[in-house]
Amino acid sequence: MSENALQYLLNRQSVKFVRAPGPDERQLDLILRAAMCAPDHGRLRPWRFSLIRQEVMQEFVDKLFATAQASATPIPAQKEENARRWLQEVPLLIALACHRDHSVTKIPEHERMLAVGAAVTNMLNAAHMLGFGAFWSTGLGTYIDEVNEMLGFDPLDYRFMGFLAIGTPIDEVLPQTRPDYRQFVKEYRP
Ligand SMILES: Cc1cc2nc3c(=O)[nH]c(=O)nc-3n(C[C@H](O)[C@H](O)[C@H](O)COP(=O)(O)O)c2cc1C
């Protein structure tokens, strides 16, 4: 393995504002295959993805906000306006969910959610390696049951985990300063 590949991990950063072109079918295939390589206790494959492509984006956005605004926890008008402006440009949104599979009792639910998180991280890294910008958001009504249902992820069977936006960065992506890992690491001494 090459240390050059590691450079991609070291310079990955989230890019929220993206536009077309998004990944083509071959690139999307690579991104989704990367998700399948995530660590996964019990090989439960708890990840579920729903692809929202640009051609249905406007219809999705209208339905999303109609559903959210009719719920007990509507989204503030300013937030809706900002989200609509953001999504207008996004060429691909992937809705993310964890299958709760009540028949499984051996692997705790938080471990399954971690597996989904790892799968999404693989997708973020794969998108970055292909030259795209990507951003994980739990805005957009992630915690509104009716929105989860609208996306086909009934909260009884799925834990909805937000959206991944993928596309071409609109603005120049400037290098980010990352924290010094020493702040978070100690030597264990028995
Ligand atoms: C599960 C999850 C949900 C997130 N939801 C949001 C969100 O709703 N809004 C937001 O501004 N950032 C959100 N973020 C943070 C961004 O995706 C991104 O990680 C953050 O801006 C830091 O950028 P970086 O990945 O380059 O360090 C979320 C991150 C994670 C892991």
One-character DSSP codes across 74-115: PPPHHHHHHHHHHHHH-SEEEEEEEE--TT--SS-HHHHHHH
Contact assessment for residue 19 and residue 89, using Cβ atoms and an 8 Å cutoff: yes
Rounded distance from Cα 53 to ligand 1 centre (Å): 21
Query: How does DSSP classify residue 45?
Result: -
Indicate the burial class of 166 (C-beta count within 10 angstroms; 0-12, 13-18, 19 or more). buried
Atom 10 of ligand 1, residue of closest alpha carbon: 137
Say how many domains are in the chain: 1
Decide: 21 in ligand 1 pocket, CB within 6 A.
no
Contact assessment for residue 75 and residue 141, using Cβ atoms and an 8 Å cutoff: yes
Substitution site in 96, 98, 136 for ligand 1 pocket (most atoms within 8 Å of beta carbon): 136
Q: Rounded to 5 degrees, what are φ and ψ at 104? A: -90, 125
Question: What's the CA gap between 65 and 3, in Å, rounded?
Answer: 45
Average pLDDT, consecutive stretches of 10 residues, N- to C-terminus, the chain (190 residues): 89 98 98 98 98 98 98 96 98 98 94 98 98 97 97 98 98 97 98
Question: What's the CA gap between 144 and 148, in Å, rounded?
Answer: 7
Residue 2 lies in a domain: no
Atom 4 of ligand 1, residue of closest alpha carbon: 137
Q: Specify the pLDDT at position 101.
A: 92
* pTM of the predicted protein model: 0.97
Range of the domain at 153: 10-184
Q: Specify the pLDDT at position 162.
A: 98
Residue 190 lies in a domain: no
Residue 52 lies in a domain: yes
Q: Specify the pLDDT at position 4.
A: 87
Indicate the burial class of 16 (C-beta count within 10 angstroms; 0-12, 13-18, 19 or more). middle
| CATH code (residue 71) | 3.40.109.10
Residue 4 lies in a domain: no
Residue 168 lies in a domain: yes
Residue 105 lies in a domain: yes
Contact assessment for residue 1 and residue 114, using Cβ atoms and an 8 Å cutoff: no
Q: Which residues pair with 49 in a beta bridge?
A: 96
Contact assessment for residue 94 and residue 52, using Cβ atoms and an 8 Å cutoff: yes
Rounded distance from Cα 173 to ligand 1 centre (Å): 16
Q: Give the 3-state secondary structure of residue 39.
A: coil
Query: How does DSSP classify residue 157?
Result: T
Atom 13 of ligand 1, residue of closest alpha carbon: 137
Decide: 136 in ligand 1 pocket, CB within 6 A.
yes
